[in-house]
Structure 1
């Protein structure tokens, strides 16, 4: 008789709604009550599918980041990325837009004009480990990404490595991100790394993940110790698989900053408001986002769970 690894889990994470900019409302799944990171993945927003045929779509003015990487991932629509390095890039479905903030960067994201009638995607952050969090800022765009296929399954490797296929995107800690497309009726087992923790986000359709039915917009935390993951598609479905080695460093996350101390956060906020250190995003028709006021409640470094 097999013995289940006690590190395995099946915790359903409930989203909360947040307004992103323009007509875009997101479902924030990470950080979540009781779960702050999955590997180095520290932030997950899922949005759409939204009918933006007569709307402005996504309109996020210039804003700053430190200490993280951003991943723009689309199933429908386009996002025009501009940053303070001078990068201007339209990111389309299943293309990787990867921005490394490092010590400091600013960027803006918007639906171009004209744009497709539907917008559907996810915005994700990866926390940079202490040894690399002050690297020079950078932007990468990868239109071609490796695929893993099985009967009824097609997986695009966004970051890291899955079943021997490695993404060209730059990473700074052991992790994986993969987009899974399942045909209705598919019943497959996806190979995993037992030392990684994992979570699965349902982008569309309904799938059973290790026996747990996930409707669209839901995210299941799976813990560690899995060599494979059973997936069964109840309809044509799209999923995101996120995983990595446990990120054991304590983080201070506030607004768009990932740091290690409250003092670093306060300094980054001051720099942004004074217009120093982050550079300038040109070409966006609008003013930069002002930083919110810091709360009187002291910020505290927090670990993987809370």
Structure 2
């Protein structure tokens, strides 16, 4: 996914492990295309990164007549992995490596940009369901920034029950300290991290196991979440992010009926990060060179055929 022209100013990001301080943050409405707005969750002034996660957008639900507003034309990336995760609807991925891959709910499209790639995401024709999903970026560590670009599609990801929730492990591993059971996502990862989707049709209370070495946050996609035995007594609701900081090994939470949340985590990135438009690097010169190369039609980004 691409950011709009208004997002082409330089941003600088760092992990900020702040101990166990809890904060509720609000997403901000941003333009994605001329017709479509999204909820920008990360980065924002009070939270630039969560481990390696340097970007999170929430799009939709888009009604079927507005589906084509989503179409994102070919655009470049460097220095990151993109994750597209759908709750409903369908998209087609096209990239400069020649991959053409449909994405459906519960599946994962993971693109590693490395030294440079371009791609497009196109809404399906004649949709029958609203388009609703998330786009995430995970920054590549300095040693891997110039890796060869690749694309991976995962049709089957680990699913398990947490209370009344259906948990889907998108990235990383999850160890349930009460059940003493571990699940591992097959998704390619370059930095210790976690992306876990929770969905519940009924009110449920659960103990969420956390890695105390990670920074964590929980984004409320829909519904509401309450903290059990906490100084924060108000509900955290749709389009809000609960920043958990670090140094936590669990969190007692209550999810209202018909709630969806995304749990993100990761080891502090440990590197100062530069972001401009769709380019990410720990070296400013690489970001600036990528912009020049894209503007001048450099072959490093290839061509995307959407026919």
TM category (shorter chain) comes to: 0.7 to 0.9
TM-score of the superposed pair, with normalisation by structure 1 = 0.87
**Aligned twin of 2:285:** 263
Q: Give the root-mean-square deviation of aligned CA atoms.
A: 1.7
Question: Which has the larger displacement, 9-18 or 274-283?
Answer: 9-18
Alignment counterpart, residue 109 of structure 2, candidates 90, 97, 103: 97
Task: Extract unaligned runs of 5+ from structure 1.
Answer: 1-5, 285-306
1:22 to partner: Cα distance? 6.4
**Aligned twin of 1:190:** 208
Contact 2:76/2:116 (<8 A) preserved: yes
Q: Deviations over 1:203-258 (max 9, x none)?
A: 11112145552211111110111111222122221110000001110011000000
Contact 2:62/2:132 (<8 A) preserved: yes
Give the whole-Å Cα distance in 2 for the aligned partners of 1:225 and 1:14: 23
Alignment counterpart, residue 274 of structure 2, candidates 240, 247, 252: 252
**Aligned twin of 1:142:** 154
1:18 to partner: Cα distance? 1.5
**Aligned twin of 2:244:** 222
**Aligned twin of 1:123:** 135
1:213 to 2:235 alignment = yes
1:82 to 2:91 alignment = no
**Aligned twin of 1:243:** 265
Q: Deviations over 1:49-87 (max 9, x none)?
A: 221335414111100000000000111111111000001
Alignment counterpart, residue 51 of structure 2, candidates 34, 39, 42: 39
Give the whole-Å Cα distance in 2 for the aligned partners of 1:217 and 1:93: 20
Q: Secondary structure at the match of 1:267?
A: helix
1:117 to partner: Cα distance? 3.5
Question: Which has the larger displacement, 87-96 or 14-23?
Answer: 14-23
**Aligned twin of 1:278:** 301
Q: Secondary structure at the match of 2:301?
A: coil
Task: Extract unaligned runs of 5+ from structure 2.
Answer: 1-17, 176-181
1:18 to 2:30 alignment = yes
1:171 to 2:183 alignment = no
1:268 to partner: Cα distance? 0.5
1:270 to partner: Cα distance? 1.2
Contact 1:22/1:58 (<8 A) preserved: no
Q: Secondary structure at the match of 1:8?
A: coil
Give the whole-Å Cα distance in 2 for the aligned partners of 1:22 and 1:157: 33
Give the whole-Å Cα distance in 2 for the aligned partners of 1:49 and 1:70: 20
Question: Which has the larger displacement, 82-91 or 148-157?
Answer: 148-157
TM-score of the superposed pair, with normalisation by structure 2 = 0.87
Give the whole-Å Cα distance in 2 for the aligned partners of 1:124 and 1:116: 25
Q: Deviations over 1:141-168 (max 9, x none)?
A: 1111002313312110000001211111
